[in-house]
A and B are shown apart, each in its own frame.
Chain A
Amino acid sequence: MSGVGSTEPHKSAGAGSAGAGVGAVRELTMSEALNEALHEEMERDPTVFVVGEDIAAMGGLFQVTSGLLDRFGPQRVIDAPISEAAQAGAGVGAALVGCRPVVELQIADFVSLVMDQVVNHAGKWRYMSGGRVTVPFVLRGAVSSGIGMAAQHSQTLEAWFVHAPGLVVIMPSTPYDAKGLLKSAIRDDNPVVFLEKRLLYSRRGPVPDTDYVVPIGVAEIKQEGSHVTFVSYAQGVHLGLQAARQLAREGIEVEVVDLRTLKPLDIQTVVASVSKTGHLVVATEAARAGSMASELVARVCDVAFDALRAAPVRVTAKDTPMPYAAPLERAVLPQVEDVVDAVNQVLGRVPVGR
Chain B
Amino acid sequence: MASPTTTTSVQQLEHLLLRMWQIRWFELRAMELFEEKLIRGSVHPYIGMEAIAVGACAALREDDYITSTHRGHGHCVAKGLELKLMMAEIIGREDGYCRGRGGSMHITAMDRGMLGADAIVAGSSAIAVGAGHGLRLQGRDSVVVCFFGDGASNQGILHEACNLAAVLAAPVVYVCENNEWAISTPVTASTSVSNIADRAAGYGFPGVIVDGNDVLAMRDVAAEAVARARAGEGPTLIEAKSYRITPHSAATKTDLRPPEELDAWRARDPILRFSRYLTGEAGVEPARLEEIEEQARRDVEEAVEFAKASPRPEPEAALEDVYAPADWLTPGRLA
Q: Which chain A residues have a beta carbon within 8 Å of chain B's beta carbons?
A: 46-47, 49, 75-76, 78, 80-81, 83, 85-99, 101, 116-117, 120-121, 125-136, 165-166, 168, 188-190, 215-218, 261, 263-265, 267, 299
Contact = CB atoms under 8 A, between A and B. Distances in A.
A163 B296 CA distance: 45
B101 A130 contact: yes
Nearest to B146: A93
A264 B99 contact: no
Given A97-B134, A117-B126, A80 B322 contact: no
Contacts of B161: 83, 86, 89-90
A133 B127 contact: no
A84 B144 CA distance: 21
B98 interface: yes
Contact of A132 (B65, B110, B131): B110
A216 B163 contact: no
B108 interface: yes
A130 B325 contact: no
B264 interface: no
Contacts of A131: 99, 101, 320-321, 324
B335 A98 contact: no
Contact of A264 (B115, B324, B325, B328): B328
Nearest to B335: A265
Interface string B93-129: 0001111111000101110000110101001111111
10 contacts: A86-B163, A90-B129, A97-B138, A101-B130, A121-B120, A128-B108, A129-B101, A130-B99, A132-B98, A218-B328
A128 B98 contact: yes
Given A86-B163, A93-B132, A116-B123, 4 more contacts: A89-B125, A90-B126, A99-B137, A132-B109
Interface residues of B, number: 54
A121 B325 CA distance: 18
Contacts, number: 184
Nearest to B167: A81
B333 A264 contact: yes
A127 B137 CA distance: 26
Contacts of A95: 130, 134
Nearest to A216: B328
The winner among B127, B136, B163, B168 for most chain A CB atoms within 10 A is B127
A85 B155 CA distance: 12
Contact of A217 (B101, B164, B321, B333): B333
Interface in B286-335: 320-329, 333-335
B156 interface: yes
The winner among A88, A96, A218 for most chain B CB atoms within 10 A is A96
Contacts of B163: 81, 83, 86
Nearest to B327: A215
A127 B167 CA distance: 32
Given A86-B129, A86-B157, A99-B137, A133 B108 contact: yes
Contact of A126 (B109, B137, B323, B328): B323
List of 8 A-B pairs having minimum Cβ-Cβ separation, nearest first: A89-B126, A93-B130, A90-B130, A131-B321, A94-B134, A130-B99, A217-B328, A86-B160
A78 B168 contact: yes
Interface in B256-295: none
B129 A121 contact: no
A89 B98 contact: no
Contacts of A133: 108, 110, 116
B223 interface: no
Contacts of A90: 126-127, 129-130, 133, 161, 164
A299 B131 contact: no
A217 B323 CA distance: 13
